[in-house]
């Protein structure tokens, strides 16, 4: 089950479409969907979580807490809508494209894809792009 929560005035356009897409990605990767919670917030909300739980005094677009057990994908994914908006402008992509990339990024981590090394970052980006194509088809 996927739930969308809002700690800001932003509301996702089509929750049902996003849920179906994410569940399809999880299933295609050989896993099952447990409970995913998306929490959309602003920079300050996410910064506070970053400092309190991760001891990182920086702004970020996403923080995810992974509760996956075996092949059952579960977790809380916090997304700063402000940061996504800024990154969309920075990378010259639409807000929706960047938002969906960030949304699936957290799930891909739960599926075991890392992004610490340059090689892993490249693999993550390729997988994000592959997932975005599935959303648009």
Judge whether 47 is annotated as a binding position.
no
CATH number at residue 93: 3.40.390.30
Structure pTM? Answer: 0.93
Helix (H, G, I), strand (E, B) or coil at 30: coil
* Token pair for 101: 């990339």
132, 97 contact by CB (below 8 A): yes
Residue 100 marked ligand-binding: no
Tally of domains within the chain:
1
Domain that holds residue 37: 2-136
Helix (H, G, I), strand (E, B) or coil at 1: coil
Map residue 131 onto helix, strand or coil.
helix
41 DSSP 8-state letter: E
Residues 31-88: pLDDT tens digits? 999 999 999 999 999 999 999 998 889 899 999 999 999 999 999 999 999 999 999 9
User: What is the chain's alpha carbon radius of gyration, rounded to the nearest angstrom?
Assistant: 14
The response to whether 61 counts as a known ligand-binding position is no
């Amino acid at each position: 089950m996927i739930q969308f929560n809002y700690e800001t005035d932003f509301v996702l356009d089509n929750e049902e479409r996003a849920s179906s897409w994410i569940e399809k990605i999880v299933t295609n990767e050989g896993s099952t969907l447990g409970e995913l919670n998306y929490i959309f917030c602003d920079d300050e909300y996410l910064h506070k979580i970053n400092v309190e739980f991760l001891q990182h005094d920086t702004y970020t677009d996403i923080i995810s807490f992974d509760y996956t057990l075996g092949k059952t994908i579960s977790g809380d994914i916090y997304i700063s809508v402000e940061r996504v908006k800024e990154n969309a402008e920075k990378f010259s992509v639409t807000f929706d494209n960047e938002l969906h990339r960030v949304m699936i990024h957290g799930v891909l981590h739960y599926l075991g894809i890392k992004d610490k090394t340059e090689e892993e970052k490249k693999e993550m980006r390729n997988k994000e792009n592959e997932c975005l194509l599935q959303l648009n088809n």
